[in-house]
Amino acid sequence: GWYTTEWTLICVWFDLLNSIITDCRQSLLLSFTVVAIFAFFHLRLKSLIALITICCIVIVTVGCVTTLGWVIGVLEAIILVLVVGLSFDFTLHYGASVPETGCGKHRIWFAARKSVIPVSLSALSSFAAGSSMLIAETHAFHQV
């Protein structure tokens, strides 16, 4: 017999990659919009600083991925979504916990102390989910 490629499998793979990249862009835009609206009503001026911080985190992460020469595939898209989620979580918890009054040193100390538990639990749950996927038999995690 002649060697034939699995065109349907290749088409499904490219459709999957295309939809992941498209959905990643849409989720980023939707996340930034929702956070901007809710944070503006709750945090006022802090929301602008939080959005700038989140944008910088996303830009640095994507820059590191491209500098390392990675092609954005399934695993990289998952990592990007986790980075965006954790950056939103930390930045908004920290911004919401900064008190309005007091000296600068005490306000920073209080905000860090108040936001360390929710952010740590978020990172722990993401680590647990990622660790459980490392033993899974999927192509993306075998490349790691």
Q: Which pLDDT belongs to residue 5?
A: 66
How much is the mean pLDDT over the chain?
Answer: 75
Closest of 25, 26, 46 to residue 36, by C-alpha? 46
pLDDT in tens, 35-72: 777 767 766 777 777 778 878 888 888 788 788 887 77
- Where do the domains of the chain lie? 7-143
Confidence (pTM): 0.52
Q: What is the mean pLDDT of residues 74-88?
A: 73
Q: What is the largest CA-CA distance in the chain?
A: 80
Distance of CA 69 to the CA centre of its chain: 20
pLDDT value at 109 more than 80: yes
| Separation between Cα atoms, residue 116 and residue 98, nearest integer Å | 12
Name 86's Cβ contacts closer than 8 Å, sequence gap at least 6: 122, 123, 126
Q: What is the mean pLDDT of residues 102-113?
A: 84
